[in-house]
A = this chain, B = another copy of it.
Amino acid sequence: MSLLKQKTYQPLTNESAVELALELKIFDQHAKLSCKEIGDGNLNLVFHIVDKLEGKSVIIKQALPYAKVVGESWPLTLKRAKIEADALKIFGQIAPDYVPQVFFTDDVLAVTVMEDLSHLSIARTGFIKGETYPLISKHIGEYLAKTLFYTSDYGLGPSLKKEYVQQFINPELCKITEDLIFTDPFIDTETNDFEEGLRPVVEELWQDEELKFHVNILKKRFLTEAEVLLHGDLHTGSVFADNYETKVIDPEFAFYGPAGFDIGQVFANLLFQVIANVEQRDLFLNHIETVWNVFEDQFTQLWNTENKDDYAKSTTYLNYNLTKFFEDSIGFAGCELIRRTIGLAHVADLDGIEEDQPRITAKQRTLDLGTILIKQRKEIKNLSSFITTVKEAL
């Protein structure tokens, strides 16, 4: 029976994934296809289907009805596959250079068939191996400017924007962020995960009421401020890159939230390299500067030329927005630094430091820097003040 006519969900196998690809006429009907499941199995199945003779390949991604994170498993609706597919299409229209092409989606099967990016590497993995991807920060800055402007009230107009807000209500995946980024790391709870050597600093952090106050404010921004359609999980593990190309993948956490959240996650995940990769510190600080500078330039240009709200075009009001985005970014970056160090989901940049003492020191500095960024985000008024703050903390 045709997979495309199925009315119920079932997980694909290598065989049925190939069948689906053939049914979609992506390959010649007589092509000899090989198929390998290459997902990490936590949230999704990912099939890599190749026609070696023709040199063609494709990815079929299918959501699983549960999530596994570090051994824990909980049910998740398949609706996130639709969120991801819809977000890929919108971001792909806005910033086609930086988003994988989507060939087909199906809500019942919870699949997205898309461009194979296996000639690129996951940026985090590449960074850890010593790659520096000279264009990645320019590309990400441009991706951010375009996606955050064109999905805002100013880029879309308020009516269409409200339809998008409705379409991207994403309670389940937002809840993961609300808990794992904005709550759990700041209280003594089971989901946290850190090495014993960090316990004294972690317990101090849990006592810090001023920090908790600021995190509550940032959490509220995440909960209430529907500024733009966010990627929602824009760390360096969601970016494919080489020295020429950059592609942002996996927007299943997409929803309408504060623009600074995506920017802040980019900042934080570049900061992990600034912290861990001492020899390339300046290079990764430059990447951070480039992300913001390119974002600011291009957002400004779009604001002035593509703004749907004539009434909102003034430079003073643009600067008000940029200042707010920057302040939010710094705060959200601080939250990401802390949660990736002591929360449920870690990053290999830090965990991969082999020797105990340097690793613990790096993690302590990450926690210190995170705390400073959260508390002082209003005082860190511009890029140079941000960079100085980072250098002083390390």
Does A386 belong to the interface (CB within 8 Å)? no
B-contact 0/1 string along A152-193, CB 8 Å cutoff: 010000110111011001111011001000010011000000
Interface flag for A212 (CB, 8 Å): yes
With an 8 A cutoff between CB atoms, is A302 at the interface?
no
Q: How far is the CA of A219 from the CA of B171 in the complex (A)?
A: 26
Count the A residues whose beta carbon is within 8 Å of the partner chain — how many?
A: 37
Interface membership of A354, Cβ < 8 A: no
Question: In the complex, what distance in Å separates the CA atom of A158 from the CA atom of B174?
Answer: 9
> Nearest CB to that of A320 among chain B residues?
B217
| Residues B158 and A175 in contact, CB atoms below 8 Å apart | yes
CA distance A209 to B311 in the complex (A): 11
CB proximity to B under 8 Å, residues A4-62:
none
User: Are A171 and B163 touching (Cβ within 8 A)?
Assistant: yes
* Contact of A183 with B311 in the complex, beta carbons under 8 Å: yes
User: Is the pair B158, A316 in contact by a Cβ cutoff of 8 Å?
Assistant: no
Contact indicator A213/B314 (Cβ below 8 Å):
yes
Say whether, besides A225-B225, A227-B224, A311 and B212 are in contact (CB < 8 Å): yes
- Chain A 140-161, CB within 8 Å of chain B: the 1/0 string? 0000000000000100001101
- Top 6 A-B pairs, shortest CB-CB distance: A166-B169, A162-B171, A159-B171, A216-B317, A153-B223, A224-B227
A394 at the interface (CB under 8 A from B): no
Q: Is A381 an interface residue (CB 8 A)?
A: no
**Which residues does chain B contribute within 8 Å of A161, judged by CB atoms?**
223
Answer yes or no: A347 CB below 8 A from chain B CBs: no
> A interface vs B, CB < 8 Å?
153, 158-159, 161-163, 165-166, 169-172, 174-175, 178, 183, 186-187, 209, 212-213, 216-217, 219-220, 223-227, 311-312, 314, 316-317, 320-321
Contacts of A316 in B (CB 8 A): 209, 213
| Alpha-carbon distance between A320 and B314 when the two chains are bound, in angstroms | 29
A386 to B171, CA, bound (A): 39
Query: What would be 28 A-B contacts, judged by CB atoms less than 8 Å apart?
Result: A153-B224, A158-B174, A158-B175, A158-B178, A158-B223, A159-B175, A161-B223, A162-B169, A162-B171, A163-B169, A163-B171, A165-B169, A166-B166, A186-B311, A187-B311, A212-B311, A213-B317, A216-B311, A216-B314, A216-B317, A216-B320, A217-B317, A219-B312, A220-B321, A224-B226, A224-B227, A225-B226, A226-B226
Which residues in B have their C-beta under 8 angstroms from that of A223? 153, 158, 161
How many angstroms between the C-alpha atoms of A162 and B223 in the bound complex?
9
In the bound assembly, the distance between CA atoms of A162 and B217 in angstroms comes to 18
Chain B residues with CB under 8 Å of A172's CB are 159
Q: Which residues of B contact A209 (CB under 8 A)?
A: 314, 316
Chain B neighbourhood of A183, CB < 8 A: 311
Task: Give the Cβ gap from A224 to chain B, nearest Cβ, in Å.
Answer: 5
| Nearest CB on B from A281, distance (A) | 35
